[in-house]
């Protein structure tokens, strides 16, 4: 089996590469990544010399290069993680989100059709469902919840999902889609909530909480997401969408407080800043379908996962300090300087 993994130098993609090399040592894993600001070759250092692994620095929008790669590798499975993934950046500059997330997806699917892959899997997000009100804890996203997006990021992911389902119906491309809740764990890029708060707290810098910090996210340890995708690409039904989430809803402010506590830092570092435009209130996944059909259940409890994650950031300071010392400083000043 040869599996093409796009976006494998990013957060979830790299964890998936590690998972696949371990879980399926006989598979060949080919990582395709453009190495944008969010992609890091150092993340893949430990597998670079693995004979079952190949890294290709390629843009998924580059049709010619993608076709050439498919010609060479003749992949059985394609898993598309590559995306612009940060909501705040999408609010500043939507265009690249449409380019990579929608057009890039179509390029990957065209190549998958042309070379007859057995499975094309699209890694999507619960954000395509929009948000739920805080005062209705009885409501959850199911696979039949309407698409109702809020940000340019989620709209671009929803556009890609619709295209994936259209390729299934129109061309019979054997597709599956997973829509996962917020992930956390090793190699999470420091612009996102949990690693940003860990890095700032360690430096005794202000912890910028948007609005009142009451927004709720449903957090899943990244390895559990990787295991869900592994199950879907092997046993999931073609043409189907699977929601993936851990029934682990937390308010942003409670996460930030927990990080302060774990790191022994004072809550006085918490600074409430101007809210994100169009900020989704609550995400909450109903994972009944993937549980009933594929037997998937999250294995890592948040209380353990957050400890493991904090330990990882403490043990791997070089990884994230290298990132935040470069161009990231300009991003941080622009986003948080006058907030
Ligand atoms: P990330 O930003 O950490 O990584 C994205 C990777 O894609 C990077 O390595 C980047 O270099 C690469 N990339 C970007 N544009 C590319 C292009 N044009 N061609 C090739 N490579 C390109 O993102 P992530 O958090 O790991 O998310 C991965 C996927 O999972 C995304 O599709 C995202 O929408 C989805 N997702 C993320 C979460 C989450 O909590 N992070 C939750 C659900 C779904
Ligand atoms: P984020 O990690 O960007 O993921 P998403 O927007 O995809 O859910 O943000 C998670 C939550 O944390 C979201 O409600 C926005 C909030 N947030 C802050 O309060 N401060 C921050 O500095 C960041 C990055 C996010």
pLDDT at position 54 is 98
| 85 in Cβ contact with 193 (< 8 Å) | no
Average pLDDT over residues 35-53: 98
pLDDT, position 97: 98
Q: What pLDDT score does 246 carry? A: 82
Q: Which CATH number fits domain 2-187+220-248+278-301: 1.20.120.80, 3.20.20.150, 3.40.50.720, 3.30.365.10?
A: 3.40.50.720
Q: How far, in Å, CA of 298 to CA of 277, rounded?
A: 31
Give the Å distances, CA to CA, from 129 to 147, 180, 328.
5, 11, 30
Instruction: Name the pLDDT band for 317 (thresholds 50, 70, 90).
Output: very high
> For a substitution probing ligand 2, which of 217, 248, 279, 282 has the most ligand atoms within 8 Å of its CB?
217
- Give the global pTM: 0.98
pLDDT digits (tens, 9 = 90+) for 298-312: 999 999 999 999 999
Please say if the pLDDT value at position 267 is more than 90. Answer: yes
Return mean pLDDT, the chain. 98
> What DSSP string describes 298-310?
--S-HHHHHHHHH
Q: What is the pLDDT of residues 164-208, one digit of tens each?
A: 999 999 999 999 999 999 999 999 999 999 999 999 999 999 999
Cβ distance 77 to 117 under 8 Å? Answer: yes
pLDDT of residue 339: 87
Residue of 59, 83, 323 to test ligand 1 pocket, by largest number of atoms within 8 Å of CB: 83
Q: Do 282 and 132 form a contact (C-beta atoms < 8 A)?
A: yes
Q: What is the pLDDT of residue 287?
A: 97
116 Rama sector, left if φ>0, alpha if ψ -120 to 50, beta otherwise:
left
| Residue nearest atom 25 of ligand 2, based on CA coordinates | 193
What is the whole-number distance in angstroms between the Cα of residue 54 and the centre of ligand 2?
A: 33
Average pLDDT in the 229-238 region?
98
The whole-number average pLDDT for the span 226-255 is: 97
**Average pLDDT, integer, range 130-148:** 97
Question: Could you tell me the distance, in angstroms and rounded to a whole number, from the CA of residue 136 to the centre of ligand 1?
Answer: 30
Between CA 312 and CA 151 the distance in angstroms is 31
pLDDT for the residue 15: 98
| pLDDT tops 90 at residue 14 | yes
Can you tell me the mean pLDDT for 30-42?
Answer: 98
């Amino acid at each position: 089996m040869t599996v093409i993994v796009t976006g494998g130098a990013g957060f979830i993609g790299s964890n998936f590469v590690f998972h696949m090399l371990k879980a399926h040592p006989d598979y060949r894993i080919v990582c395709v990544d453009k190495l944008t600001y969010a992609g890091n070759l150092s993340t893949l250092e430990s597998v670079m010399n693995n004979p079952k692994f190949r890294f290709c620095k390629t843009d998924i929008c580059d049709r010619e290069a993608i076709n050439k790669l498919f010609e060479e590798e003749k992949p059985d499975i394609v898993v598309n993680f590559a995306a612009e993934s940060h909501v705040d950046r999408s609010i500043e500059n939507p265009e690249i989100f449409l380019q990579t997330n929608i057009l890039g997806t179509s390029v990957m699917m065209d190549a998958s059709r042309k070379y007859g892959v057995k499975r094309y899997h699209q890694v999507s997000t619960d954000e395509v469902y929009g948000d739920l009100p805080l005062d209705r804890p009885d409501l959850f996203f199911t696979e039949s919840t309407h698409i109702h997006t809020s940000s340019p990021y989620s709209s671009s992911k929803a556009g890609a999902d619709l295209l994936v389902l259209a390729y299934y119906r129109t061309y019979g491309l054997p597709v599956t889609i997973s829509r996962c809740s917020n992930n956390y764990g090793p190699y999470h890029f420091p612009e996102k909530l949990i690693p940003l708060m860990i890095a700032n707290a360690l430096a005794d810098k202000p912890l910028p909480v948007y609005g009142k910090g009451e927004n709720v996210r449903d957090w899943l340890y990244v390895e559990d997401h990787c295991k869900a995708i592994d199950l879907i690409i092997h046993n999931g039904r073609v043409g189907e969408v699977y929601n993936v989430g851990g029934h682990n809803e937390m308010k942003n402010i409670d996460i930030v407080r927990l990080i302060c506590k774990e790191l022994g830092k004072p809550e006085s570092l918490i600074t409430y800043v101007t809210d994100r435009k169009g900020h989704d209130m609550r995400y909450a996944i109903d994972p009944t379908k993937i549980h009933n059909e594929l037997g998937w259940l999250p294995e890592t409890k948040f209380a353990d996962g957050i400890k493991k994650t904090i330990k990882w950031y403490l043990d791997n300071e070089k990884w994230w300090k290298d990132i935040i010392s470069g161009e990231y400083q300009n991003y941080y000043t622009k986003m948080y300087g006058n907030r």
